[in-house]
Chains A and B, each alone.
Chain A
Amino acid sequence: MKAILHIIEHDFRNFFRYKWWLAGLISMNLADLLIMAVVYNQMVSPEIAELTKSYFNFFAPGVTVVGLFASAFMIGREINMEVRRQIHHYMLSLPITRLELAVGRLFAGGLRGMMYMSPLLLTTFLFLGFPSLPQLLVILGALLLLATGISGLSIATAVSTTSFEKFVTARGLVYYVLFFCSSIFYPLSLIQTLGREGVMPQPLVVLAEFNPLSSGADLIRSFLLGDPPFTLNMVRNLVVFSVIFATTATFAYMKIIERR
Chain B
Amino acid sequence: MKETKKLLLVVERDLRMFLQYKFIIIMRAIWFAAQVAFFGLIASRMVVPELADIYFEFYVAGVVIMMLYSASVFIGYDIFEEAEHGVFEYLLSLPVSRKELVLGRSIGGGIRSFILVGPIIAIALFVIGLANPLNLLIAFSALFLFAFGVSGMSITIAVMLKSGDRFDIFMGVLNALIVRLSTTMYPQVFVQDASKVYAAFSEFNPLTFASDLFRWGTGIERYLTMDPMPLAAIIGIVIFFFTFTFVGVTIYEKRLEGGGWQ
Given contacts A20-B165, A24-B169, A39-B198, contact A48 B46 (CB under 8 A): yes
The reply to whether A176 and B31 contact each other, CB–CB distance below 8 Å, is yes
The answer to whether A43 has its CB under 8 Å from any CB of chain B is yes
Q: Roughly how many angstroms separate A195 CA and B47 CA in the complex, as a whole number?
A: 18
The answer to whether A23 has its CB under 8 Å from any CB of chain B is yes
Closest residue on chain B to residue A181 by CB atoms = B38
Interface string of B34-47 (1 = CB under 8 A from A): 11001101110111
Given contacts A172-B30, A180-B35, contact A200 B46 (CB under 8 A): no
Closest residue on chain B to residue A193 by CB atoms = B45
Closest residue on chain B to residue A36 by CB atoms = B180
**How distant is A46 from chain B, measured CB to nearest CB, in Å?**
8
The reply to whether A185 and B47 contact each other, CB–CB distance below 8 Å, is no
Task: Give every chain B residue within 8 A of A45 (Cβ-Cβ).
Answer: 46-49, 52
Interface segment among B123-131, B188-196, B231-239: the answer is B188-196
Interface string of B169-181 (1 = CB under 8 A from A): 1011101110011
Closest residue on chain B to residue A52 by CB atoms = B46
For window 192-234 of A, CB contacts with B under 8 Å fall at: 193-194, 199-200
Interface string of A4-38 (1 = CB under 8 A from B): 00000000000000001101110110111001101
Q: Roughly how many angstroms separate A194 CA and B38 CA in the complex, as a whole number?
A: 11
Task: Give every chain B residue within 8 A of A31 (Cβ-Cβ).
Answer: 176-177, 180
The reply to whether B191 and A28 contact each other, CB–CB distance below 8 Å, is no
Given contacts A21-B168, A38-B195, A166-B23, contact A28 B176 (CB under 8 A): yes
Judged by DSSP, the binding face of A is helix
Given contacts A45-B46, A190-B42, contact A177 B34 (CB under 8 A): yes
The reply to whether A180 and B38 contact each other, CB–CB distance below 8 Å, is yes
The answer to whether A44 has its CB under 8 Å from any CB of chain B is yes
Q: Roughly how many angstroms separate A20 CA and B177 CA in the complex, as a whole number?
A: 16
Residue from A25, A35, A43 within 8 A of B172 (CB atoms): A25
The answer to whether B51 has its CB under 8 Å from any CB of chain A is yes
Closest residue on chain A to residue B166 by CB atoms = A20
The reply to whether B198 and A42 contact each other, CB–CB distance below 8 Å, is no
The answer to whether A186 has its CB under 8 Å from any CB of chain B is yes
The answer to whether A173 has its CB under 8 Å from any CB of chain B is yes
The reply to whether A172 and B31 contact each other, CB–CB distance below 8 Å, is yes
The reply to whether B185 and A185 contact each other, CB–CB distance below 8 Å, is no
The reply to whether B185 and A36 contact each other, CB–CB distance below 8 Å, is yes
The answer to whether A168 has its CB under 8 Å from any CB of chain B is yes
Task: Give every chain B residue within 8 A of A24 (Cβ-Cβ).
Answer: 168-169, 171-173, 176
Q: Roughly how many angstroms separate A41 CA and B186 CA in the complex, as a whole number?
A: 11
The answer to whether A191 has its CB under 8 Å from any CB of chain B is yes
The answer to whether A165 has its CB under 8 Å from any CB of chain B is yes
The answer to whether A169 has its CB under 8 Å from any CB of chain B is yes
Given contacts A35-B181, A180-B38, contact A169 B46 (CB under 8 A): no
The answer to whether A130 has its CB under 8 Å from any CB of chain B is no
Task: Give every chain A residue within 8 A of B5 (Cβ-Cβ).
Answer: none
Task: Give every chain B residue within 8 A of A36 (Cβ-Cβ).
Answer: 180, 185
Q: Roughly how many angstroms separate A42 CA and B176 CA in the complex, as a whole number?
A: 20
Residue from B27, B39, B52, B195 within 8 A of A180 (CB atoms): B39
Q: Roughly how many angstroms separate A20 CA and B175 CA in the complex, as a whole number?
A: 14
The answer to whether B26 has its CB under 8 Å from any CB of chain A is yes
The answer to whether B85 has its CB under 8 Å from any CB of chain A is no
The reply to whether B45 and A27 contact each other, CB–CB distance below 8 Å, is no
Closest residue on chain B to residue A25 by CB atoms = B172
Q: Roughly how many angstroms separate A193 CA and B42 CA in the complex, as a whole number?
A: 10
The reply to whether B47 and A44 contact each other, CB–CB distance below 8 Å, is yes
Residue from A165, A166, A172, A186 within 8 A of B46 (CB atoms): A186
The answer to whether A127 has its CB under 8 Å from any CB of chain B is no
Q: Roughly how many angstroms separate A47 CA and B181 CA in the complex, as a whole number?
A: 26
**How distant is B76 from chain A, measured CB to nearest CB, in Å?**
14
Q: Roughly how many angstroms separate A31 CA and B175 CA in the complex, as a whole number?
A: 10
**How distant is B1 from chain A, measured CB to nearest CB, in Å?**
40
Interface string of B115-140 (1 = CB under 8 A from A): 00000000000000000000000000
The reply to whether B180 and A173 contact each other, CB–CB distance below 8 Å, is no
Which residues of B approach A to under 8 Å, CB–CB? 22-23, 26-27, 30-31, 33-35, 38-39, 41-43, 45-49, 51-52, 165-166, 168-169, 171-173, 175-177, 180-181, 185-186, 190-191, 193-195, 198
Q: Given contacts A39-B191, A43-B47, A176-B33, could you give 8 more A-B pairs where the C-beta distance is less than 8 Å?
A: A20-B168, A28-B172, A32-B180, A35-B177, A38-B194, A38-B195, A39-B186, A176-B31
* CB pairs A–B below 8 angstroms (29 shown): A20-B165, A20-B169, A21-B168, A21-B169, A24-B168, A24-B172, A24-B173, A24-B176, A27-B173, A27-B176, A27-B177, A31-B176, A35-B198, A38-B194, A38-B195, A38-B198, A39-B194, A39-B198, A43-B51, A45-B52, A165-B23, A166-B23, A168-B23, A168-B27, A169-B26, A169-B30, A172-B31, A191-B42, A194-B41
